[in-house]
Amino acid sequence: MVNTRSTYSLLALLLLLATAPLFAQQAEISPQRKQAIDSLALEKVRDLSKYISIIGNKKTAYSEATRVMDRAEELFAPGSEMGVSSLNRKEVNYYKVRKYFERLMALNYDRVSIQWYDIHYISDLERQPDGRYVGVVTVYQRFEGTNDDGMKYKDTTKKDITIYVERKKTQVSGRTIEFWDVMLGDIRVTETSA
């Protein structure tokens, strides 16, 4: 049910691999490379969106949901958290990513629908003291939970997702190849009035 990685993502990765030697010595990220990184980041965000929809779906078997949670967790840097607030409550509640998924799975609705808006916004990349780059991708999610007695809850949440971009090395046929990898980090979840 869950694809490992789409063709689009692979193309972006290949493009990053191909251009790696050109920028190996420089700290600045060129517009072309930024676009390739953005594609890879978006692909990871789309993977996460897909996983969230599966985890939240009441028809997903427990074993499948657990497997998808494992896959979703792999997208994140260790220690990543979700900071959640609502329109009525400004206070942010913090959950470890796994805990957030488990809460999503355990929601007490008979039917759950999770849709994602087409819109997304990708920030510039800024360099951290450790040399890694960090950016934020914003996406919007529509949630609808319905019970058999007709009770319905719906909300739209804005998700500001941290992305970490790091240059890594790998061995391919005895050759060391450098590439740029993207990991997801903390996510701020805000309920919107949309």
Partner 1 sequence: MRITSFVFFLILSSMSAHAQIVGDMDETKLYAESKQVNQFFRRFNGEEDEKGNRYYPGDKQYRNIKLRKKYLGILFNESNTGMPAVLKTEFVKNVLDKSETSVLDFHGGNWFSEVHTVFTANGKDQPVTLFMTLEKDHLGSKWVIQKVYADMFAPYFVRDTLKVGRFLHPMSHELDFMNLRKAFVQTDSVAQFASKKFVPDHLSLFLYEVKKGTLKFKTVTDVKFHFFQLDGWYFELANFNRPGYNTGWLISNLVKLKNPVEKDVLRKYLYYETK
User: Among candidates 122, 132, 127, 125, which has minimal Cα distance to 167?
Assistant: 132
- Both structure tokens of 173: 């046929």
Find out whether 104 and 76 touch, Cβ atoms under 8 Å.
no
Kindly compute the dihedral angle of the four CA atoms of residues 87, 91, 95, 97, in this order, to the nearest 10 degrees.
50
Q: Which stretch binds partner 1 (CB under 8 A): 63-71, 74-82, 100-108, 124-132?
A: 124-132
Of 59, 90, 169, 175, the residue at the interface with partner 1 (CB under 8 A) is 90
Question: Taking CB under 8 A as the rule, does residue 117 contact partner 1?
Answer: yes
Q: Tell me how far, at minimum, the Cβ of 5 lies from partner 1, in Å.
A: 24
Helix axes 7-23 and 31-56, enclosed angle (nearest 10) = 150
Tell me which residues in 3-62 interact with partner 1 (CB under 8 A): 27, 31, 34
Binding site for partner 1 (CB under 8 A): 27, 31, 34, 83, 87, 90-94, 115, 117-119, 121-124, 126-131, 136, 138, 140, 142, 156, 158, 160, 190, 192-194
